[in-house]
Amino acid sequence: MTLLTFRFAPSPNGELHLGHAYSALLNQQLARAAGGRLLLRIENIDTTRCTPEFEAGIFRDLEWLGLEWERPVRRQAGHFADYQAVLDRLIREELVYPAFMSRGEIRAFIADSEKRGRGWPRDPDGVPLYPAADKALPISERNRRIADNAPFAWRLDVEAARSRIGTDLSWREFTDETLSATRHVEARPQDWGDVILARRDIPTSYHLAVVVDDALQGVSHVVRGRDLYSATGIQRLLQELLGLGQPDYFHHRLVLGPDGRKLSKSFGDTGLAALRQAGASPEDVRRLVGL
Ligand code: GLU
């Protein structure tokens, strides 16, 4: 029998807060209950925002909390060649295209359309979808711009990808913290439009790296916050395109701040380091997050 595998996958672009503590401790609790494995993965592909100091802070906070994970830890920035290989395959299969519009051009394009009384679709996070005008660019023009060093991002052609799959997708979602039952959720990657899968100088994005790594590391259970619930639609599509196995998912509740809002990385007193310095114990943290 294969062992169930859980993972906690923070990004070292800020300090850990109570929301991270809940996620990490819940993963540990579920892995232990199942006699399974717990991996820690450092998601540091954003080389401008992720720092070694934040990474050191993550290790300090998690050790203090009493989390135990397998070693070695996969650090995504050390594996760009893995993501590049997958990206090359998507390029060859014409499932991604170079998108050249700058943020300003996207804004102007959408404002223009809205001025003419046409609404513009937004993704589940409220961000306007990419206009996808570059899809019509002739190959010669694409190549000319790339050769001229024009900035671009590789975007998934979500319609081409969906027709390649040719069937509706879903995922199995656990219904509560005890993982006692599952239900099927319809995957709706189209709600996100043509998402970015890689940048000119970084051969991956969050979505691409996460599906590649979850498969490579044999993750069977993805337990993470509800804020990533709808993003799972994109990740299911990528798993299917790349012929990767699919984990089961549980998107847990978010720990909210005193103002009822989602915690961010620029919070004050809900940071784990700040709580520790103020004399809180790991048991206090468990109680604060309801575990
Ligand atoms: N690295 C992501 C974050 O810190 C989490 C990714 C995931 O759990 O799929 O928000």
User: Rounded to the nearest whole angstrom, what is the distance from the C-alpha of residue 41 to the centroid of ligand 1?
Assistant: 9
Ligand 1 pocket residues where CB is under 6 Å:
9-11, 43, 210, 224, 228
The predicted pLDDT at position 259 comes to 72
Probe residue for ligand 1, chosen from 171, 210, 248, 254 as the CB with the greatest number of ligand atoms within 8 Å: 210
pLDDT at residue 51 in the model: 97
Handedness of CA 81, 86, 91, 92 (dihedral sign): positive
Q: Looking at ligand 1, which atom is closest to the CA of residue 210?
A: 9
pLDDT tens digits, 192-221: 999 999 999 999 999 999 999 999 999 999
CA of 210 to the centre of ligand 1 (A): 8
Relative to the CA of 43, which ligand 1 atom is closest? 1
Q: 58 CA to middle of ligand 1, Å?
A: 14
pTM of the model: 0.95
The pLDDT score that the predictor gives to residue 70 is 98
The pLDDT score that the predictor gives to residue 112 is 92
Domains defined for the chain, CATH in brackets: 79-206 (3.90.800.10)
Low-confidence ranges of the chain (pLDDT < 70): 1, 264-269
Distances (CA, A) of 139 to 64, 101, 105, 153, 159: 54, 16, 21, 16, 19
Q: What is the pLDDT of residue 268?
A: 63
Q: What is the pLDDT of residue 260?
A: 74
Digit-coded pLDDT (tens) for 77-109: 999 999 999 999 999 999 999 999 999 999 999
